[in-house]
Chains A and B, each alone.
Chain A
């Protein structure tokens, strides 16, 4: 149990560092591709074990968002998105419950539930996450086309990075 908690905390820290120190600076300064943001840190919330207390999920999502906001210099924007998605994650998990049910103690691994399930789950999660994030960033739906453009571009590249991350680290606990 303790090592599991430790693993999750470690994942939070690693993802914050990858996102804040490395991926934040990665932009392609070429036409509309400038709107492409690589965002993989929501993986920390996405992978939390199913039986994590809701309270802990919300609080850790808030702290994660605030930490990312320090790097992005946008207090509250990422935190608000993280908290919202952490709150609605359980509804998504209920919807997507596999036939055998969840292994409630462990993180949601690729090997356990299969590639197809994981892609469905993570793309719905990330799609919603990016849409909410860019909406809060713009703070008005006047620029809805810009919000959608950013969401779609960032979604494609972020999902690519998430799959790479999952194969590279292959989290088990």
Chain B
């Protein structure tokens, strides 16, 4: 107690000084537009930058498991490549039809920050408007769906992951094609719930869940996970399925953003239809 009093006697003025300066700067940043803009922009810049550095360290320490997954992905890509060549030659032989142009392109990006312990989790990635990212684009990694781009700045973007109560992803059972929407209940980062699948559909444990392709964020057929528990509430007409995610959100490094070239066309069409109704 005495040493505490001594501390205040000695440093009280300094603490008071720091306190007043903090009050002043809060006032400055809150009520002066120019300073506010500078503060917001530069803090975003520095936070992004330091996250980038921190992540470089993290990536380095995780190189071993990363090289494993790269090898895996390489193998898978090589398998696809054979199809690609056949497909291309086939296309070259027939009429070049603009309809069969590639609809989706993929932009690779690195995760600079990621949360998993919040009720609403966000991921920050190191690609932004400069590389053509827009809010609403889908994000995947080589194990499955990750989330949807929420906000973009020049060089960075935030992604609301599946582990976010605001994220709704249209998903389907691969075997039957029945579709519903994917919701996270906020408890376990390994599981999400698939809802709105009507009871007359047959669902069994172990069924693969994929994206339905009904939104422009994801093409059809991207892996989400597998059904681990089939249950339904009494009195409800719909299943409540527990799905084990393919993506491990606790170690997320490299992701791909899906760019849908038909998105503007589809969106404007939907919009027009709504206006007519």
- Give the B-binding residues of A (Cβ under 8 A): 54-55, 58-59, 62, 65, 69, 74-77, 79-80, 83-84, 87, 136, 139-140
Contact = CB atoms under 8 A, between A and B. Distances in A.
Interface string B1-35: 00000000000111011001101111111111011
A58 B32 CA distance: 23
Interface in B28-63: 28-32, 34-35, 38-39, 42
A142 to B, nearest CB: 9
Given A74-B32, A139-B34, A140-B38, A83 B24 contact: yes
24 contacts: A54-B13, A55-B16, A58-B20, A59-B20, A65-B24, A69-B27, A75-B27, A75-B28, A75-B31, A76-B23, A76-B27, A76-B28, A76-B31, A76-B32, A77-B24, A77-B32, A79-B20, A79-B23, A80-B21, A80-B25, A83-B20, A87-B14, A139-B28, A140-B42
B42 to A, nearest CB: 7
Contacts, number: 60
B44 to A, nearest CB: 14
B26 A76 contact: yes
A34 B265 CA distance: 53
Contacts of A139: 28, 34-35, 38-39
Contacts of A140: 38, 42
Contacts of B14: 87
A65 B24 CA distance: 9
A96 to B, nearest CB: 20
B17 A83 contact: yes
A2 B12 CA distance: 26
B206 to A, nearest CB: 58
B38 A58 contact: no
A80 B17 contact: no
Interface of B: 12-14, 16-17, 20-21, 23-32, 34-35, 38-39, 42
Given A77-B28, A80-B24, 13 more contacts: A54-B13, A55-B13, A59-B20, A62-B23, A74-B28, A74-B32, A75-B28, A76-B24, A76-B28, A77-B32, A79-B24, A83-B17, A140-B38
Nearest to B29: A76
B25 A58 contact: no
A62 B24 contact: yes
Contacts of A65: 24
Nearest to A142: B38
A74 B35 CA distance: 10
Contact of A79 (B17, B27, B35, B38): B27
Contacts of B17: 58, 83, 87
A77 B30 CA distance: 11
A59 B20 CA distance: 8
B31 to A, nearest CB: 4
Nearest to A54: B13
Nearest to A80: B24
A87 B12 CA distance: 12
Given A55-B16, A58-B16, A136 B28 contact: yes
Contacts of B21: 80, 83-84
Contacts of A62: 20, 23-24
Contacts of A54: 13
Contacts of B34: 139
Closest 5 CB pairs of A and B: A76-B27, A80-B24, A76-B28, A54-B13, A75-B31
Contacts of A79: 20, 23-24, 27
Contacts of B25: 76, 80
B24 A58 contact: no
